[in-house]
Amino acid sequence: ISLEVEEMSVILGDLNQDLIINILDVVQLVNIILGTIEANAYQLEAGNMNQDATINVQDIIILINLILQ
């Protein structure tokens, strides 16, 4: 058995991986929560803003507050 391991840096809140945390990331997080789009592993990690292993409305609120600071 051969496994390939790839390390990935995750920026909390940067769901679209453009290195900018903005409203586009909020829209993507909302769409993931609503089931409009299927999230990949990076997005699941980056969208879990409070690190509670669940993506939900709390994560959206934290992300919005981060942007408005």
pLDDT in tens, 14-42: 999 999 999 999 999 999 999 999 999 99
Question: Given this model, what pLDDT does residue 5 score?
Answer: 80
pLDDT at 8: 73
Q: What is the pTM (predicted TM-score) of this model?
A: 0.86
Distance CA 26, CA 36 (A): 13
Instruction: Give me the pLDDT at residue 6, please.
Output: 76
**Beta carbons of 25 and 63 less than 8 angstroms apart:** yes
- Fill in the amino acid letter for 38: E
Distance CA 41, CA 32 (A): 12
